[in-house]
Amino acid sequence: MTPKERIKAVLNFREPDRIPVIIGVSNATGIKMETYRNLKELLEIESEDRYLYDWPELGTALPDEAVLAHLNCDVRGVWDRFPEEVYQRNRNRDAHANYIDDWGSGAREIAPGEWFPAIHPLADATTIQELEKYPGWPDMDDPYRVSHVKKAASAINNSSQYSVMATPWLLFPFERAFAMQGLDKFLFNMARYPDFSKALLKKHLELCKTLMGHFLDELGDSVDIIKIGDDLGTQKSLLISPTMYRNIIKPVHAEFIAFIKERTKAKVFFHSDGDIFSLIEDFIEIGVDILNPIQTSAGKMSDLPLLKEKYGDRIVFCGGIDTQKILPFGTPKDVKKEVKRVSEILGEGGGYILASVHTIMNDVPAENILAMVQAVEN
């Protein structure tokens, strides 16, 4: 099979010739720069270091084609961009000064080269009037954001070799609320000021829909997978109760997914870390096609046979290769053993795409990355 055929088979719950792989093509499936450099050294590949979204503070590498080929990656990525003004402003700011994005939120350097999201422009807001007066809402109609998309997606699609996975960097409505207010503040406000919280999420949704609409217009038919997401889980449970999710967040997700599906035949890839087992039925109901990252170290998400039994014929699983213990601290043999275990359970009858659980961090040996992606060949 070609990579594109392999992905298509899995998305239609058919077994391919081997388990397909997604790696390096979004921040949810990416590789941090230090590990990426080690990987290139191991592969004896010399190439320029580039960052995903041209965003060094994010710290995630943009792998070149030579690396992706060695990684057995069956998809190729297409991304949006920040407005040109944001890039220019941040490239010209003082060294080590705060990074500020197009929403007015941003990151602070907490150690040399390490950035933490700590700039929250609406941290003290609790009223709808404060949202209406906020001067920093981004311009999602800026054509620079998507002017490159049609050419990039068409080039991949016309080769008929790889599936196209499109990942607009929206920091989706729930996570964007964390960026604008801080995690603790927004979670408190959801309970104390639900009308305000719903208004903030609605504002984020409308901005996300505007950019997604332009993005999908440029993609046309040259796309197979659209990646969205919102982190909802912790190691043992949800960040919020299932009831609060269904009352406040689920309608936002449902509207966003419906908006996407009205405009494309591409499958919706939804990323959410942690133990989100109790929400999988909700995700299926609102139209999620692919669930990522299947954090096997988190609560009931570790019960892969149960996941496969309950949901394996209704939603595609992507991820499952542990980044907390196996990839950073295991041997290549341990990694291959885990890939075999996960693939045999989730891959039976199709419906599984191999990936790490979220981004591969800087503590992962390059040898273990190769062991992970080479294990699908055996």
Strand 106-111 and strand 99-100: the pairing is: antiparallel
CA-closest candidate to residue 55, choices 28, 26, 90: 90
- Identify the structural domains of the chain with CATH numbers, from first to last: 3-377 (3.20.20.210)
Instruction: Check residue 123 and give its pLDDT.
Output: 98
Q: Which residues of the chain have pLDDT under 70?
A: none
pLDDT value at position 170? 72
Residue for token pair 């570790």: 302
CB proximity list for 278: less than 8 A, separation 6 or greater:
238, 242, 300
What pLDDT sits at residue 113? 86
pLDDT of residue 169: 83
Indicate the length of the chain as a whole number: 378
**C-alpha to C-alpha distances, 166 to 76, 122, 268, 308, nearest whole angstrom:** 8, 29, 10, 26
Query: What's the Cα-to-Cα distance from 131 to each of 137, 175, 181, 201, 350, rounded to whole Å?
Result: 9, 17, 11, 11, 46
DSSP 3-state of 296: coil
